[in-house]
Chains A and B, each alone.
Chain A
Amino acid sequence: IAGITQAPTSQILAAGRRMTLRCTQDMRHNAMYWYRQDLGLGLRLIHYSNTAGTTGKGEVPDGYSVSRANTDDFPLTLASAVPSQTSVYFCASSEAGENNEQFFGPGTRLTVL
């Protein structure tokens, strides 16, 4: 693994179903993030984790949950998917530093019907 991986690449999901999007990084970054990207709205932060064992809410956390059991993994769960959660989801990570660069995964395209 080099960088950040996300799975699945894409998914079509029936409304009401539970879904977990996976994110794994091998850069030993402390901070990890989940964003959603919708057309015309840019990227919006869903949840974040500053370090393993801690999580926090971003701009649009409702309907999503996260966990951070270790440094490398940061799964995002939709407990009961709704059509408004149709979006492209990006996971990112960063290490504290002067330039605050975030490294993004390739994204998961999720469609909720």
Chain B
Amino acid sequence: GQSLEQPSEVTAVEGAIVQINCTYQTSGFYGLSWYQQHDGGAPTFLSYNALDGLEETGRFSSFLSRSDSYGYLLLQELQMKDSASYFCAGYNQGGKLIFGQGTELSVKP
């Protein structure tokens, strides 16, 4: 089977850095994606790690270690608008996404 685990909620202050971890248990898995969802709206793509290492896109970075079955999303210079739910999702060999249960990030002033 395939499953991804991430914390249910994280709180941080504006301007800070926050890391959202994701561990997975799966066979035949490749690649880890991150999606953002505001207030139950359409999830939007943030990043994809096909290989081990760090991918940086502006204030957001994502990391993958396939040997540790672990990844994280790093958000820097937090802004109020970053308050949202963040989902890690693993790509299986069939090209299908398996989502984690989501982490609700609350950014406080």
Residues of A within 8 A of B (CB): 31, 33, 35, 37, 40-45, 48, 50, 58-59, 88, 90, 96, 98-107
- Contact (Cβ within 8 A) B95 A100: yes
- Chain A residue with minimal CB distance to B31? A100
- Chain A residue with minimal CB distance to B49? A99
Contact status of A42 and B95, CB under 8 A, knowing A102-B45, A104-B42, A106-B42: no
Cβ of B33 under 8 Å from chain A: yes
- Contact (Cβ within 8 A) A88 B43: no
Q: A104 → chain B, closest Cβ, in Å?
A: 4
Q: A22 → chain B, closest Cβ, in Å?
A: 16
- Contact (Cβ within 8 A) A31 B95: yes
Q: Which residues of B contact A107 (CB under 8 A)?
A: 40-42
A101 to B31: give the CA distance in the assembly, Å: 11
A44 to B99: give the CA distance in the assembly, Å: 7
- Contact (Cβ within 8 A) B96 A45: yes
A100 to B47: give the CA distance in the assembly, Å: 9
Q: Which residues of B contact A58 (CB under 8 A)?
A: 96
Known: A96-B95, A99-B48, A101-B48. 15 other contacts (CB 8 A): A33-B97, A40-B8, A42-B99, A43-B89, A43-B99, A44-B99, A45-B97, A90-B43, A100-B97, A101-B33, A104-B42, A104-B44, A106-B42, A107-B41, A107-B42
A100's contact among B40, B43, B91, by CB below 8 Å, is which?
A: B91
- Contact (Cβ within 8 A) A42 B101: yes
* Residue from A33, A96, A102 with most neighbouring chain B CB atoms (10 Å): A102
- Chain B residue with minimal CB distance to A92? B43
A37 to B48: give the CA distance in the assembly, Å: 21
Q: Which residues of B contact A59 (CB under 8 A)?
A: 98
Q: Which residues of A contact B43 (CB under 8 A)?
A: 43, 90, 104
A96 to B94: give the CA distance in the assembly, Å: 12
Q: Mark B3-42, 1 if CB is under 8 A from A, else 0.
A: 0000010000000000000000000000101000000111
Cβ of B87 under 8 Å from chain A: yes
